[in-house]
Structure 1
Amino acid sequence: MVTGLNFPTREFSDGTNKVVHGEALSYLKSIPDNSVDLIFADPPYNIGKDFDGLTENWDEEHFLNWCYQWIDECYRILAPNGTFYLMNSTENMPFLDIWCRKSFFVRSRIVWSYDSSGVQAKKYFGSMYEPILMLTKNEKNYTFNADDILVEAKTGSKRKLIDYRKNPPQPYNTKKVPGNVWDFARVRFKMDEYENHPTQKPESLLERIILASSNVGDTVLDPFSGSFTTGSVAIKNNRKFIGIEVNEEYLKIGLRRLNIPSDYTEEELAKNKKRKTKNLSKRVREVSEATIKQASLI
């Protein structure tokens, strides 16, 4: 929740796609009604993360009230057959779910499940997933391209079982529409898609959402663009993109990833990967320990 910052909103465009340096709620109010086909929103979770100098640590009531305002704006600008995907923390999602049900139809409650090699909670069960709401304006009329997101059906493709309920009996399908538990690895430092952002979402997750709930030529909006994965995947799949970002460092990531013209220099936009953690990798630790041991023997 970053409001009231004293800088003018700036827009950068290549004629088709747009990157906006500004505050989400303020800019959303300028977007026409029913003009966006797909919205993916991954806002701050208000759990104390530091986004390069902007730390999320706000009063819960004010935070939720801010969320309710921009969610209502998303409803206004979403096309009648459009879809809105909303991510947030396990702590906040119950409040947001109840608010969204006042205007949207909840089509799915998705769990993005992932493993973690980091330190986990020792006095309770640590969180290993993030919830995603799939919301539509219309109960039945909305875009869903099932054939574009099929995954392997293990019963049919591996076990080769026969479905005797059919007449005549037939092998089970080898492909199926994914369920609502999605297993995508988090973005790691060695991945090509890695950017200097503390909560970067994987391209594979956004690709499923974009292919399922938009068509070629549709407009995709991300009000909290961050690492601009949404925009990168949208453009690769021939969608139009509007991305809003309040942090200038992340804005520059978007301008580079989306190849949007700007007044920044090539050096200012250059990719310089930094680890999200100060912990050393296992390989580096082993090399360091061996060096120290060797030095002690001299």
Structure 2
Amino acid sequence: MSDWLNQVFCEDALAGLARIPDGSVDLILTDPPYNLGKDYGNASDQQTVEEYLRWTEQWIDAALPKLKPNGSLYIFLTWRFSPEIFVMLKQRMTMMNEIIWDRRVPSMGGSVRSYSSVHDTVGFFVGRKDYYFDLDAVRIPYDAETKKARSRSIFIGAKWLEVGYNPKDVWSVSRLHREHPERANHPTQKPLEIIERMVKASCPPGGVVLDLFMGSGTTALAARRCGRQFVGFELNPEYCAIIGERLAALETIEALALAAAPDAPAKPKAKPKAKAKAKAKAAAPKKKPAAKKAAAPKPAAPKRSRAIKKAPPEEVTI
């Protein structure tokens, strides 16, 4: 295994990308600073507009060569800068979707001179037409009521009715509140539900996901939980520690599940009983006087032989 796989490096992505060979990553999934002045323990979110856009173009140009030719990219952005950055990416890739993440923010407070912003913008880009995309892995099942309404004969056997529908480009998933069990100490943590959907759809099993701005490590967890590999970077040592703790907790859960797996199916223990029953059945023939009695019908044969002896008239006729 390569020494850079399944690692989160506590360093600047622009410096660390040299670790990753070109053309080795299936999916870039990243959530860079939005330049809204948040405190990430450094000045990465406090640049001028010109500096921010120049820096964004710099890391994009450094990261894209790491993608495989049929790889994809998802990028979280704010509506304030998504137009410029989308144009930047359109000059290098093909844009497939603008996804709107509705954070389900309660209708409380907010600006009194504009509409409240309650969404993040996500860009979905691909390198070429044969990009990997597994729609069946992320379909949303229909509820029983919908299936019942579609019970007419023309719908019988329809695959889409059984496997579910294609997720739309508006994803309504609640943000992680402070009391949420998934929440880590990070101001802009993304829900696993969203990241796992992207990983399942756009990275093949066993493939590699790259995140240049790991934050709380949700991309790494999603990759691990979905059977993919990961690599990423994070500047803040405190966030690196959080990532390590979250990955260690996941490893513990996986180890416990693996340890419990042999005991889970109680069927192997039932085998001795099956063998005992088999032995009992094998012993049963000893009590089969019925088999000897079954031989009693042998007198029937003599009857036939007697009948043959009493058939001289037939011989006479011959």
TM-score for the superposition, normalised by structure 1 = 0.76
Cross-structure match for 1:231: 220
Of 86, 104, 107 in structure 2, the residue corresponding to residue 115 of structure 1 is 104
Work out the number of aligned pairs and report it. 243
Rounded to whole Å, the distance in 2 between the matches of 1:169 and 1:248 is: 59
Partner of 1:50: 39
**Structure 2 regions of 5+ residues with no counterpart?**
250-318
Residue correspondence of structure 1 range 66-145 to structure 2 within 5 A: 66-117=55-106, 119-138=109-128, 140-145=129-134
Return the offset for 1:161.
Answer: 3.8
Instruction: Say whether the 8 Å CA contact 2:33–2:44 is kept in structure 1.
Output: no
**Equivalent runs, 1:143-222 vs 2, <5 Å:** 143-153=132-142, 157=146, 160-161=149-150, 169-170=154-155, 173=161, 175-222=164-211
2-structure distance, mates of 1:102, 1:113: 27
Aligned mates of 2:216, 2:203 — CA distance in 1: 21
Give the structure with the larger strand fraction: 1
Relative distance call for 1:249 and 1:155 in structure 2 (3 A) is same
SS of 1:109's partner is: strand
Counterpart contact for 2:4–2:20, Cα < 8 Å: no
CA distance in 1, matches of 2:25, 2:113: 44
CA distance in 1 between partners of 2:210 and 2:196 (Å): 14
Match of 1:25 in 2: 14
Q: Give how far 1:237 is off.
A: 1.4
**Letter aligned with residue 77 of structure 2:** N
Secondary structure of 1:231's counterpart equals helix
SS at match of 2:14: helix
Residue 55 of structure 1, CA deviation: 6.3
Cα contact 2:57–2:88 (8 A) shared by 1: yes
- Quick one: distance in 2 between partners of 1:30 and 1:16? 10
- The alignment-based identity, stated in percent, is 33
Q: 2:235 aligns with which of 229, 242, 246?
A: 246
**Counterpart of 2:213 in structure 1: which amino acid?**
F
Shift in Å, 1:30: 3.9
For each residue in 1:113-137, what CA deviation from the matched residue of structure 2 results, as whole angstroms up to 9, or x when unmatched?
A: 1221353222111111111111111
Q: Which moved more, 1:15-24 or 1:177-186?
A: 15-24
Q: TM-score, normalised by structure 2?
A: 0.71
What is the DSSP-based 3-state SS (H/G/I as helix, E as strand, rest coil) of the residue aligned with 2:213? Answer: coil
Which one has the bigger helix percentage?
Answer: 2
Aligned Cα root-mean-square deviation (Å): 2.3
CA distance in structure 2 between the partners assigned to 1:235 and 1:153 by the alignment: 28
